[in-house]
Structure 1
Amino acid sequence: MSASVVSIVGRNLVSDQSWQSEDAPDPIELGVIGWGLVILRGLPLALLVTSGLILLLTVRLVERPIYGPRRPITPFISQFVCRNAFRILGVGFRTSGDLMQERGAVVANHSSWLDIFALNARKRVFFVSKAEVAKWPGIGWLARATGTVFIERDRKKAREQTKVFEERLTAGHKLLFFPEGTSTDGLRILPFKTTLFAAFFSDELRNFMYVQPVSVVFHAPKGQPDRFYGWWGDMEFGPHLLKTLGACRQGSVELIYHTPAKVSDFDSRKALAAHCEAVVRHAHTLARLEK
């Protein structure tokens, strides 16, 4: 998955509005050592991502006519690239909890474009993005190549959207979306929007569908603000990437996988969304306190 796809899709999952902080973003000061680290980390990271994308597209040429919507091989390439991206960056990576085995979706809080790498590194997932992204030159093509599921926020197409979800879920895909609808500074959990949860209550999906909440927790490098890895509002991708690459000390990211929730155990999308939000929020708060 290319960095440009990560940045664009990461900012455009479900919502058009970005969360804004009352405080301005922290200034970026790299210095000579920082710029040296940008080169030392940036070049191998670019090589990893580019070669991974080329390999994925090549394999997909064979995989698609044989397996159709199923992708038994290419997700392993994305997972390999994302896991090793953290090794190159020097960012610590740890997880807890069991991965969901049932068919269904994964929901997580959203702090940064780094979430895309983190969630792909542990689990083979396919992200959900608004349909407009698919039409963007270059970006849309790359997003489609990596298996992104595009949705249209139009009630008239609700049945069609449910059909898309059903096909992907039946093919064994784990769909992932960020119910907050925007990224934040990583210090908070915003209310979960219920829109996408509605599709899971259709007659076709409700009885077999599970949703696994995941808490994504970033721990800042020692001596840096707690929101060091947060990416929100009008912050540009380029400067944030440079800041991450040029950090003399790196922090870590922690993924906490919670017990999957069976959709049929809930009366409504609001109840399911509230449950997932509460679980993610509780674990996120505890993890930040225990850092």
Structure 2
Amino acid sequence: MGMARTIFVAFVLGIVTIVLMPLQILATRFGWRLAALLPYYWQRIARWLVGLRVRVTGTPAKPPLLLTANHISWLDITVLGSVMPLSFVAKAEVAGWPVLGTLARLQRTVFIDRTKRLQTGAATAEIAQRVGAGDVMVLFAEGTTGDGNRILPFRSALIGAAGAAAGTGTITVQPVAVTYTRIGGIPVGASDRPGLAWYGEMPFVAHFSRLIGRGGIDAVVSFGEPIHFTPESDRKKVAEECFESVREMDELARTATSYSGKGDRLFSPQPKNAKGTGSPAAANLAGQAGEGIVDRVS
């Protein structure tokens, strides 16, 4: 059953990709608005096929916007990409991966080779240009993936792209946390997260097949407090603020796994830092969850 489902999902996604690819290539070539929308619709279809259910807490800021997120798995691309039109920043080797590299290019991903300073500078300039032009870019600021049980410190280097985009003005850097809360209706625990995570030398096909066969996956996307980035901003300080915000939102979302009715409400106990000792974003999220405010289902 698991293999049959995997084949079905891969087949349908392949057909959808073949149909949309020529239009996306044209849209990208001529700068049509459709170039940002087609990947979003593709990710919505992929999310439905894979069995992802995504809940969104908080509100994304208006462009120019750079999102700094944690990174757990290839699933993150579909989770975030199905919430709103956006593009990603990825390591250069992704461009050469079979299938995934093609999909990344169609998503208008910016590839960056951190081992070559000249290329890093060119990629940073492209990120700055894209953000400044109104594209929403996602930076997986940890620089890698782990086993999903903890968030690694954020790297500050590429956040400097925000400074370049700011020029003499201001753009917004916004932390966003991706948290997987349930698999097949069962809360995700510490022993389950490494199975969701895609890291090290894990083969993609085997990981894809295993996740598809496990049933529905619930994810929470938490948008934190926007940070106004100016040419005078300290990128290291901004990276640290984003890291702390994402870490706290992720921790809170992990506890908010009790659903009511058809799952349209997200509840959480009031955390200790909700009264101002933690980040404003986490405190705001905590207040919403503690009061039982309805989170929108994207």
Q: Secondary structure at the match of 1:202?
A: helix
> Could you list the runs of 5+ residues in structure 1 that have no partner in the other structure?
1-35
Query: Using the alignment, how far apart are the partners of 2:39 and 2:120 within structure 1?
Result: 30
Q: Matches of residues 129-144 of structure 1 in structure 2 within 5 Å? A: 129-134=90-95, 140-144=101-105
TM-score, normalising length: structure 2? 0.74
The alpha-carbon distance between structure 1 residues 174 and 53, as it changes in their structure 2 partners (threshold 3 A), is: same
CA drift at 1:38: 3.1
The match for 1:273 among 233, 239, 247 is 239
Say whether 1:38 aligns with 2:3. Answer: yes
Query: Using the alignment, how far apart are the partners of 1:104 and 1:205 within structure 2?
Result: 14
Say whether 1:190 aligns with 2:157. Answer: no
Query: Which residue in 1 is equivalent to 2:13?
Result: 49
The alpha-carbon distance between structure 1 residues 102 and 84, as it changes in their structure 2 partners (threshold 3 A), is: same
Query: Using the alignment, how far apart are the partners of 1:47 and 1:218 within structure 2?
Result: 25
Q: Secondary structure at the match of 1:216?
A: strand
Say whether 1:125 aligns with 2:91. Answer: no
Q: Secondary structure at the match of 1:231?
A: coil
Q: Does the 8 A contact of 1:48 with 1:81 survive in 2?
A: no
Which residue identity is paired with 1:165? I
Q: Secondary structure at the match of 2:146?
A: coil
Say whether 1:239 aligns with 2:189. Answer: no
Percent of matched pairs sharing the same residue = 31
Query: Which residue in 2 is equivalent to 1:283?
Result: 249
Query: Which residue in 1 is equivalent to 2:139?
Result: 177
Q: Secondary structure at the match of 2:196?
A: coil
Q: Secondary structure at the match of 1:200?
A: helix
Q: Does the 8 A contact of 1:217 with 1:254 survive in 2?
A: yes
Query: Which residue in 2 is equivalent to 1:263?
Result: 229
Comparing 106-115 with 222-231, which one deviates more in the overlay?
222-231
Query: Using the alignment, how far apart are the partners of 2:237 and 2:137 within structure 1?
Result: 20
CA drift at 1:157: 5.0
Which residue identity is paired with 1:149? V
Comparing 235-244 with 125-134, which one deviates more in the overlay?
125-134
The alpha-carbon distance between structure 1 residues 181 and 260, as it changes in their structure 2 partners (threshold 3 A), is: same
Query: Which residue in 1 is equivalent to 2:62?
Result: 101
Number of residues paired by the alignment?
251
The alpha-carbon distance between structure 1 residues 117 and 266, as it changes in their structure 2 partners (threshold 3 A), is: farther
Q: Does the 8 A contact of 1:166 with 1:205 survive in 2?
A: no
Q: Does the 8 A contact of 1:127 with 1:148 survive in 2?
A: yes
Higher fraction of strand: 2
TM-score, normalising length: structure 1? 0.76
What CA deviation, in whole Å up to 9, does each residue of 1:156-192 have, x standing for no partner?
A: 4565334312322233211112111111222211111
Q: Secondary structure at the match of 2:88?
A: strand
The alpha-carbon distance between structure 1 residues 65 and 177, as it changes in their structure 2 partners (threshold 3 A), is: closer
Q: Secondary structure at the match of 2:155?
A: coil
Q: Considering only aligned residues, what root-mean-square deviation do their CA atoms show, in Å?
A: 2.6
CA drift at 1:56: 3.2
Comparing 219-228 with 264-273, which one deviates more in the overlay?
219-228
Which residue identity is paired with 2:206? P
Q: Which has the higher contact order (CA 8 A, sep 6+)?
A: 1
Query: Which residue in 2 is equivalent to 1:165?
Result: 127
Q: Secondary structure at the match of 2:111?
A: strand
Query: Using the alignment, how far apart are the partners of 1:65 and 1:216 within structure 2?
Result: 31
Q: Does the 8 A contact of 2:68 with 2:174 survive in 1?
A: yes
CA drift at 1:203: 7.2
The alpha-carbon distance between structure 1 residues 199 and 43, as it changes in their structure 2 partners (threshold 3 A), is: same
